[in-house]
Amino acid sequence: MAHFDTEYQRLEASYSDSPPGEENLLMHVPEGVKSQWHHIENLDLFFQRVYNLHQKNGFTCMLLGEIFELVQLLFVVGFTVFLANCVDYDVLFANKFVNHTDSSKVTLPDAFLPVDVCSARIRNNAFVIFVLIISGVFWLHRLIKFIYNVCCYWEIRSFYINALKMTMSELPYATWQEVQARIVEIQKEHQICIHKKELTELDIYHRILRFKNYMVAMVNKSLLPVRFRLPVLGEYVFYTRGLKYNFELIFFWGPGSLFENEWSLKQEYKRGGNRLELADRLASRILWIGIANLLLCPVILVWQILYAFFSYTEVIKREPGSLGARCWSLYGRCYLRHFNELDHELMSRLSKGYKAASKYMNCFLSPLLTVVAKNVAFFAGSLLAVLIALTIYDEDVLAVEHVLSSITLLGVCITICRSFIPDKHMVFCPEQLLRVILAHIHYMPDHWQGNAHRYETRDQFSQLFQYKAVFILEELLSPVVTPIILIFCLRRKSLEIIDFFRNFTVEVVGVGDTCSFAQMDIRQHGHPAWMSEGKTEASIYQQAEDGKTELSLMHFAITNPQWQPPRETTHFISQLKERVHREATGAPSDTHPMSLSESEPRSLIANLLTGPSTLASVHFDRDISLANHAAAGINDGGSALRSLSPISSSLHLRGSLSAAHRAAGHTSRTMAGSGTDARTVSSGSSAWEGQLTSLVLSEYASTEMSIHALYMHELHKQQSRGEMSRHTWHRQESDESSDSIPDEVRSEPILHSRNFPRSHTFPTTVPSPSAIPTSASATSSTALGQEGPTAQSSSQRHHSGPTTDPFGTGVKIVRSARVPMGGWSSSATTP
């Protein structure tokens, strides 16, 4: 293939998931033993339906949900047309007198217009007729799709019952790991995929997440136009469900898309000879889809407004402060998502970080706004108290005009004001809170660390964790903004998109064309600054940003302990686990690698959840090396995870962890005999214990990943700091949450000519010298565990002599103080 000077380079598949010698194997099964699930043609769609049925808790729940969605659509359209054309609002608001023969009291039916008048008003309104036609066509399309899905999911139900031996009543209480383990097991009997003798966990994830992995990679490489610089708002991220739908329509499954089917990229997009022609064709297609969005904008906008009105009005009336609550943005979910991470795994991880994220954002409430809110709440509360007192004294006060409306509005006003008043027990500790958030979300730009107290960091984090009201407003504006982005922004990136899909698509035997980033291959996509030095051959354009490859690999290995990765990947995982275990427990260097993914958890996680941890023995003195810097980060993360863990309290109530250990051991031995994953919910009389064991083991895996993420970020920060110290002296500005920064760090001057690298996903302007973090990203750092002599740099200086790197990485470490975790509590008491 000819080489083109583009931003991306062609990659070859590093390995296949087929066992050795089976790369081109086509299984032959005698006719007599073939089952109805032998050689399923579209395994992508099949596995997606298997996963969806599991997540929707069985066939009956899924069926009812689909039926109510159809009824909901009819209700929204019909009820809106009725309110607009069939109600006499003069009667409803008592502006018109109604004659009654039996009584003088006005009833609700008196406000309804006669049927002939109502139908005449509808026939004479062209816009209403147009909306009804569009809605009817859309509803019929949904009805046909519903009937088709019922037939398909009935087959999936049969697959669960007959092949996986799981009833629909058991499905809501079974973990996905159990379902997946049974799918892998029945491959030997039913030959679901005839191109491979054995299926792996990664095969199933690839097929379920094929297109989502591409989207995660494009966001990671800043390819999608979702970040804009506006005149008043500054840098703003706009990524809505409507825009996401159009991206997927253009790239994956719409007419004229880049993919021939669910598992194969079109051959013309795999060749670089006609890339300019393909880019022009893609740009033209994006233009036409943008024009179609523009033409349908009025209808879609009306639907968005009506759906938001019917969905959120009751919630706002019941909980007015809900609009002031926050949620993870759609962009945040894509940016924080690992490669090969299922929806329920992502949402579980983000939900665990929600509490700390909310506390972090509440640290930045405006003092001026707080003063105004307190006084407005006082005056509104005074008026409300008087009206309530008068109502209690005489209920006829409610009959006075606008009294009930005033009580409602005053209550809403007080609730909104309270959302701007911070908790008086809250302690300002943004650095510690950001560390707790990192333990769960796993990704964070380098320039956030050390600058958690700054509004720039807060504004960038708000792009991931936005107000619910902002989320609703963006969705309402999406029909208007989406065609503009498609026509004027996405079209200009058509050539880069063509190059991306050609250069980062690999064919895997038995799976099809997948995103090469989803292979989680350190050699092809590793980043030297994330413990891949010496293990990766990737150029700067082939590297995944923010340690996405390394963190995704660890997450997948921990979530799927039965997965057998390639030899180089196995070495990286085992070496990292060994380092974490040794530095956290203070064990000697010949300690065996820790394998917490096995059936019975070992010392590190058990100590984290049950109280006094061996991590407490890791002290943080001024002469401590890089290893203890990383261990200190884990120690802080451990204390935070203990405070946030829902399992720890339940285990304390049970008295000790030994019962859970025995249950885990018993369950693992039972499942080992049946070939089932250890994280399996048991049945029969021990169903409750089995569910508790599954929950405990799931928490172990989550905590283990949090510890590894903290360790990798801490080591990355220290390596980057050591690399930066070769070129510049830098100063770390202290904030209110950092109470023990060494004097040598405080006294270091700044070399102003140095430009610190930034995250590609969060590009920001270089801050003032006082705001330069000590954890700036380094483009070249050393590998974890790389042995060799220590490289001495003549430009590197320390006030108290050099510090030895125990990993043998050749990096001189600038020592920084440990910032203890904690300092905040949701149930603090008044001193």
Question: Is the CB of residue 179 less than 8 Å from the CB of residue 164?
Answer: yes
User: Is pLDDT at 617 greater than 90 in this prediction?
Assistant: no
| DSSP strands (E only) in 687-743 | none
Cα separation, 351 vs 357, whole angstroms: 10
Cα separation, 149 vs 69, whole angstroms: 14
Cα separation, 31 vs 368, whole angstroms: 78
User: Is pLDDT at 400 greater than 50 in this prediction?
Assistant: yes
Q: What is the mean pLDDT of residues 576-586?
A: 78
- Closest-CA residue to 486 (of 296, 725, 323): 296
pLDDT at 103: 57
Q: From the CB of residue 674, how many other CB atoms can be counted at a distance below 10 Å?
A: 10
pLDDT in tens, 244-273: 999 999 999 888 899 998 889 999 999 888
The mean predicted confidence, pLDDT, of the chain is 74
- Residue 356 exposed, middle or buried by CB count within 10 Å (0-12, 13-18, 19+): buried
- pLDDT range class, residue 585, cuts 50, 70, 90: low
Question: Is the CB of residue 710 less than 8 Å from the CB of residue 438?
Answer: yes
pLDDT in tens, 736-748: 333 333 343 333 3
Cα separation, 658 vs 141, whole angstroms: 56
pLDDT at 652: 41
Q: Per mean pLDDT, which range of 92-101, 344-353, 714-723, 799-808 is the poorest? A: 799-808
Cα separation, 356 vs 354, whole angstroms: 6
Question: Which residue type occupies 444?
Answer: M
What one-character-per-residue DSSP string does 588-646 give?
-TTPPPP-TTSSS--HHHHHHHHSS-GGGG----TT--HHHHHHHHHHHHHHHHHHH-H
What one-character-per-residue DSSP string does 421-468 give?
SPPTT----HHHHHHHHHHHH----GGGTT-TTSHHHHHHHHTTEEEH
Q: Do you know the residue count of the chain?
A: 831
pLDDT at 669: 40
Strands 259-261 and 512-515, by their bridges, are unpaired
3 state SS for 155-217:
HHHHHHHHHCCCCCCCHHHCCHHHHHHHHHHHHHHHCCCCCCCCCCHHHHHHHHCHHHHHHHH
CA distances from 278 to 218, 263, 457, 741 (A): 19, 20, 40, 56
- Greatest CA separation found in the chain? 104
Q: From the CB of residue 781, how many other CB atoms can be counted at a distance below 10 Å?
A: 25
Q: What is the mean pLDDT of residues 38-62?
A: 91
**Termini Cα distance of the chain:** 72
Question: What long-range pairs does 763-769 form, CB within 8 A, spacing at least 24?
Answer: 763/222, 763/227, 764/235, 764/447, 764/456, 764/460, 767/447, 767/451, 767/454, 767/456, 769/731
- pLDDT range class, residue 616, cuts 50, 70, 90: very low
Q: What residues contact 127, with CB distance under 8 A and at least 6 apart?
A: none
User: Is pLDDT at 651 greater than 70 in this prediction?
Assistant: no
pLDDT in tens, 282-306: 999 999 999 999 999 988 998 888 8
pLDDT at 568: 82
- pLDDT range class, residue 57, cuts 50, 70, 90: very high
- pLDDT range class, residue 182, cuts 50, 70, 90: very high
Cα separation, 571 vs 590, whole angstroms: 16
Q: What is the mean pLDDT of residues 800-823?
A: 35
Q: What is the mean pLDDT of residues 174-185?
A: 92
pLDDT at 513: 94
Angle at 380 between CA 379 and CA 386, to 5 degrees: 95
Regarding pTM above 0.85, the answer is no
pLDDT at 320: 65
Cα separation, 106 vs 95, whole angstroms: 12
Q: DSSP letter for 236, please.
A: E
Q: What is the mean pLDDT of residues 497-521?
A: 93
pLDDT at 25: 40
At 229 the three-state DSSP class reads strand
As given in the structure block, the two tokens for residue 89 are: 């609002």
As given in the structure block, the two tokens for residue 413 are: 């006003």
Helices of type H across 486-537: 494-503, 522-525
User: Is pLDDT at 214 greater than 90 in this prediction?
Assistant: yes
pLDDT at 252: 95
Q: Which of 157-161, 314-318, 796-800 has the highest mean pLDDT?
A: 157-161
User: Is pLDDT at 539 greater than 70 in this prediction?
Assistant: yes
User: Is pLDDT at 424 greater than 90 in this prediction?
Assistant: no
Cα separation, 214 vs 108, whole angstroms: 55
Handedness of CA 297, 300, 306, 311 (dihedral sign): negative
Cα separation, 508 vs 506, whole angstroms: 6
pLDDT at 514: 95
Higher pLDDT, 281 or 531: 281
- Closest-CA residue to 302 (of 10, 81, 146): 81
Higher pLDDT, 594 or 507: 507
- Closest-CA residue to 83 (of 126, 120, 122, 123): 122
User: Is pLDDT at 815 greater than 80 in this prediction?
Assistant: no
As given in the structure block, the two tokens for residue 284 are: 């033209």
Q: From the CB of residue 115, how many other CB atoms can be counted at a distance below 10 Å?
A: 9
Residue the block writes with tokens 């804009």: 228
User: Is pLDDT at 759 greater than 60 in this prediction?
Assistant: no
pLDDT in tens, 431-463: 999 999 999 999 999 889 889 999 899 999 999
Q: Per mean pLDDT, which range of 110-114, 499-503, 768-772, 782-786 is the poorest? A: 782-786
Higher pLDDT, 367 or 38: 367
- pLDDT range class, residue 692, cuts 50, 70, 90: low
pLDDT at 754: 35
Beta bridge partners of 515: 505
pLDDT in tens, 364-388: 888 888 899 999 999 999 999 999 9
Q: Per mean pLDDT, which range of 66-80, 539-553, 565-579 is the poorest? A: 565-579
Cα separation, 546 vs 749, whole angstroms: 28
φ and ψ at residue 799, rounded to 5 degrees? -70, -30
Higher pLDDT, 93 or 23: 93
pLDDT at 317: 65
Q: From the CB of residue 90, how many other CB atoms can be counted at a distance below 10 Å?
A: 12
Count the alpha carbons within 13 Å of 389 in the hemisphere toward its beta carbon.
6
- pLDDT range class, residue 757, cuts 50, 70, 90: very low
Give percent of the chain with pLDDT exceeding 70.
68
Q: From the CB of residue 277, how many other CB atoms can be counted at a distance below 10 Å?
A: 11
pLDDT in tens, 700-729: 888 888 888 888 888 888 877 766 554 433
pLDDT at 765: 42
pLDDT at 722: 64
Q: DSSP letter for 693, please.
A: H
User: Is residue 237 within a helix (H) or strand (E), and if so which, with residue range?
Assistant: strand 234-237
Beta bridge partners of 507: 513
Q: DSSP letter for 87, please.
A: B
pLDDT at 91: 84
- Closest-CA residue to 311 (of 475, 458, 180, 163): 475
Q: Angle 494-503/275-295 helices, nearest 10 degrees?
A: 120
